[in-house]
């Protein structure tokens, strides 16, 4: 009888390449019946590789976020910093963190920021569209701090504060739960405050149509009226082409509505072009109602989307935008 290895080499017995490889591995490893399971191992390996490709960039971003927090802890310990995380004492650390993320933004997404002149010198509320991953917003915070040395406080979902190991990073970058009192206090102290009314729901269930999913949220408008500050719309081009969520399913939507936890992982990380556009401010009007201000703000954000975004979004076009030297006007 011709040996397995010989049959592979001589071709006397027709065999598939996988069978030959399995026989050879049996000879080398001494493991019997490897061929029986080899096909399943290959399929499993291919599936895991595909999953890794889908999620490697989001996981890398998560890794860098945690690494940033670790570096801040080291800085705090070595420098014996005990000051308020929002104080200027932390500016050197903020500059280092912002520089890292700005370099990442330039390399991976060719990031651009337009319309900074529309930001008020004093307090104001930034309202923006929430992508599957708000990495574009992190780019914006970094570029703003490097350009203007200005910290924009951010309202985040409550689940963010339950994530382990991010406490110092959240404090130093000005992330807060966003109660009415906290927002009013921040605005009173002259800060910019950013809010995404769509929040996690918009991140999970909006898609390449860039539909705003604000529901009945109007607290931001009431805060703007009470604080007598302008609202500034903001939008990042191609944010849904860079990172996406799986198609909405009824049971996933029901699960989110009952738990309010982001149960669907994002995927992608495609190096498409990101451009953040800051629109003209909506000035404080003592005669406007909360409902009217919500609609006015929604119209302003939608106008930015319609002006700067191809709908439905196209990954291919978003990639080609990396080579488009012509910038759309602010």
Cα 151 from chain centre = 19
DSSP annotation string for 225-258: HHHT--EEEEEEETHHHHEE-PPP-HHHHHHHHH
**Cα–Cα separations (whole angstroms), residue 94 to 52, 111, 146, 165, 183:** 31, 19, 9, 18, 22
User: Which SS3 state, helix, strand or coil, does residue 124 take?
Assistant: strand
158 catalytically annotated: no
**Cα–Cα separations (whole angstroms), residue 166 to 105, 143, 161, 169:** 21, 21, 8, 5
Catalytic residue among 109, 130, 191, 308: 130
Cα 27 from chain centre = 49
The alpha-carbon radius of gyration of the chain (Å, integer) is 25
d(CA 79, CA 1) in angstroms, rounded, equals 75
d(CA 271, CA 315) in angstroms, rounded, equals 10
Residues that are catalytic:
130
């Amino acid at each position: 009888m011709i040996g397995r290895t010989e049959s592979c080499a001589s071709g006397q017995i027709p065999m598939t390449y996988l069978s030959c490889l399995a026989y050879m591995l049996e000879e080398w490893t001494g493991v019997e019946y490897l061929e029986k399971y080899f096909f399943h191992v290959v399929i499993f390996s291919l599936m895991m590789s595909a999953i890794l490709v889908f999620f490697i960039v989001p996981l890398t971003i998560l890794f860098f976020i945690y690494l940033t927090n670790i570096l801040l802890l080291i800085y705090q310990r070595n420098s014996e910093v005990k000051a308020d995380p929002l104080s200027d004492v932390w500016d050197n650390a903020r500059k280092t963190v912002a520089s890292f993320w700005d370099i990442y933004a330039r390399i991976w997404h060719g990031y651009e920021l337009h319309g900074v002149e529309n930001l008020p010198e004093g307090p104001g509320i930034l309202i923006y569209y929430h992508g599957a991953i708000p990495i574009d917003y992190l780019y914006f915070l970094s570029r703003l701090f490097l350009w203007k040395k200005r910290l924009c406080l951010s309202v985040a979902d409550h689940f963010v504060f339950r994530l382990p190991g991010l406490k110092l990073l959240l404090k130093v970058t000005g992330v807060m739960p966003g109660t009415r009192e906290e927002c009013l206090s921040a605005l009173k102290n002259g800060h910019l405050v950013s809010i995404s009314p769509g929040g996690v729901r918009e991140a999970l269930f909006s898609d390449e149509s860039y539909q705003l999913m604000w529901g009945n949220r109007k607290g931001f408008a009431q805060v703007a009226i009470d604080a007598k500050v302008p609202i500034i719309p903001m939008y990042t081009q191609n944010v849904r082409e860079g990172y996406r969520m799986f198609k909405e399913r009824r049971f996933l939507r029901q699960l989110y509505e009952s738990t309010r936890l982001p149960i669907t992982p994002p995927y992608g990380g495609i190096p498409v072009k990101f451009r953040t556009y800051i629109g003209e401010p909506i000035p404080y009007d003592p005669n406007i109602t909360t409902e009217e201000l919500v609609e006015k703000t929604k119209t302003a954000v939608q106008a930015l989307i319609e002006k700067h975004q191809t709908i439905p979004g196209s990954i291919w076009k978003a990639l080609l935008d990396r080579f488009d030297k012509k910038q759309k006007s602010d």
